[in-house]
Amino acid sequence: MSELNNIALEILQNGKGILAADESTGTMTKRLESVNVSSTPENRLLFRETLFSSSCMTGCIGGVILYDETIKQKTSKKNKIPELISEMGAAPGIKVDTGAKVLAGSPDEKITEGLDGLRERLKEYFKLGAKFTKWRGVYNITKNFPSKLAIQSNAHALARYSSLVQECNMVPIVEPEVLMDGEHSANECYEKTSEVIKKCFEELILHKVDLTGIILKPNMILAGNKSKDKISNEDVAKLTLKCLKNSVPSEVPGIAFLSGGQTEIEATENLNLINKHNDTNFIMSYSYGRALQQSALKFWSKDIKDIEGTQKIFNHRAKMNTLAAQGKWSKDLEI
């Protein structure tokens, strides 16, 4: 077993998942302003530190994806954020892409940038304590998209990124997200997601990436949010498993789903059903942002000094998802 494989397995073992707390300053500002909290560096840190020091970090959260601002901050007790996360028993990680920009040659689509200077930035993040990294490619579904150009370009970028990350002894999270926005059916999502993931692995293999030392972060197979063709949670689970079985090489140790616009309960219920039907050797867990944080954020916004109350809500959500990652969740357990 390689060291990278060990890190990947540690992050996702025993139903543990990943807290995606890597919102850019712009995104975090929108989230805080939506609950009437001023987006200062101090408030952004206070909310994140509240989550990172919650008791569920030890049993439920195996890794935390940070943003550049956060990995360099210090806690209220003056220790470094990566140290706090490590002390709680989770691995610190870092988002390393610089965002999705307009794709030249297909202006309605996006390409994720950030390869320039990445090797140097990775060395810095490794020194700061990062054990893993994240890079997100985004694809939208319409009659003409995603185009071959978008699928190829983003797969190539994800592979180059992964290769550089492993060179620096960290685990790359490979996140090709086929967006939920649109009128597409679940079957169209299945077809396009399968195509996107297969192309990613073609490129990863071409770039000699060690597949035992990555974590895949895909979307679930869902109908578009404006689609008239809604499907059951059971069908979401079955189609998602079918897609991954046909697209992901068996060497990959774990898959951590993104929540991608699902509500907290939907994201938990779908993960639970995926694990009830999981007949693969892949660990199937979660890497959620809003679906772990939203209720805690709403509660916290009413009184940002009520750390204990906020942590109670976050602990519950993390526990529910960890049960779902083991196929042991039920609606009766929700508050």
**Burial, 296: exposed, middle or buried (Cβ in 10 Å; 0-12, 13-18, 19+)?**
buried
Q: C-alpha 311: how far from its chain's center?
A: 21
Q: Which residues pair with 111 in a beta bridge?
A: 101
Report d(CA 147, CA 197) in Å as an integer: 14
Decide the pairing of beta strands 283-288 and 254-257. parallel
Q: Dump the DSSP string for 306-324.
A: -HHHHHHHHHHHHHHHHHH
Positions annotated as catalytic residues are 217
Token pair 């007949």 is found at: 279
Report d(CA 67, CA 128) in Å as an integer: 12
Neighbours of 70 (CB within 10 A): 26
Helix ranges, the chain (H) = 3-12, 25-34, 41-52, 56-59, 68-71, 81-87, 118-128, 148-167, 186-206, 233-247, 264-277, 290-302, 307-324
